[in-house]
A = this chain, B = another copy of it.
Amino acid sequence: MKIVAADTGGALLTEDYEPVGLIATAAVLVERPYRTAALSVARYADPFNYDMSGRQAVRDEAFLAVELAREVRPDVIHLDSTIGGIEVRKLDEPTIDALTITDRGKEVWKDLAKDLQPLAKKFWEETGIEIIAIGKSSVPVRIAEIYAGLYTAKWAIDYAREHGKATVGLPRYMKVEIRPGKIHGESLDPREGGLFGEIEAKTEGIGWELYPNPLVRRFMVLEVWKE
């Protein structure tokens, strides 16, 4: 099974560990044995000017996933939105009203569906590939989250080169290590069966430290500075 998934994560933090805005959306191609990505792409947001409502994230993820899927032709696309694994191309108003989610969730999805339902329908007509809103149950979505953390670390390195230092929060229970020429990341939850990722990056002349975010248990902070 070849699966493309996308997720957004990683936040720029203030010195007091308050989130300023999200940093990276990653799309990944995941194949058997489903522990890492065979391919990944990222799009960076502007964390200083970010809509924290969450609506922007799902939209960005869908468009980036479709872009990657056009190239690699997976069997299915997984989005990080937990509405029961439904096919996005089928999300008309009556279907959304029938979902067992909160009223606010329905409003959000009615708004999102305006862009995403036509995108999914057109993509399915062209390729036969479904986009499903499977959410946290999907392992490829979790791998995309780990890659969002890796690209967040890369963003932090670039930011530190320009401004001296950067403090970012990684996605939930994952760690990164900045190694020569690359960034390595892993899930900290062994129940997930060993999920990890790696991307190339210019890492020379960079110092870093990883530690628990004191205000948000199970989330790690990465500090990066120019040496």
Contact = CB atoms under 8 A, between A and B. Distances in A.
Given A1-B17, A136-B217, 10 more contacts: A1-B214, A32-B211, A34-B211, A34-B212, A34-B213, A138-B214, A139-B216, A189-B190, A191-B218, A193-B218
A31 to B, nearest CB: 9
Interface in A72-87: none
Chain A contact residues, majority secondary structure? loop
Contacts of A193: 173, 175, 188, 211-212, 218, 220
Nearest to A191: B173
Contacts of A194: 212
A165 interface: no
A174 B209 CA distance: 25
Contacts of A137: 215-217
A50 to B, nearest CB: 21
A212 B136 contact: no
Interface string A109-126: 000000000000000000
Interface of A: 1, 3, 16-17, 30, 32-35, 134, 136-140, 142, 172-173, 175, 188-195, 209, 211-218, 220
Contact of A214 (B17, B34, B220): B34
Contacts of A134: 215
B138 A215 contact: yes
A217 B192 contact: yes
Contacts of A191: 172-173, 188-189, 218
Contact of A212 (B35, B212, B218): B35
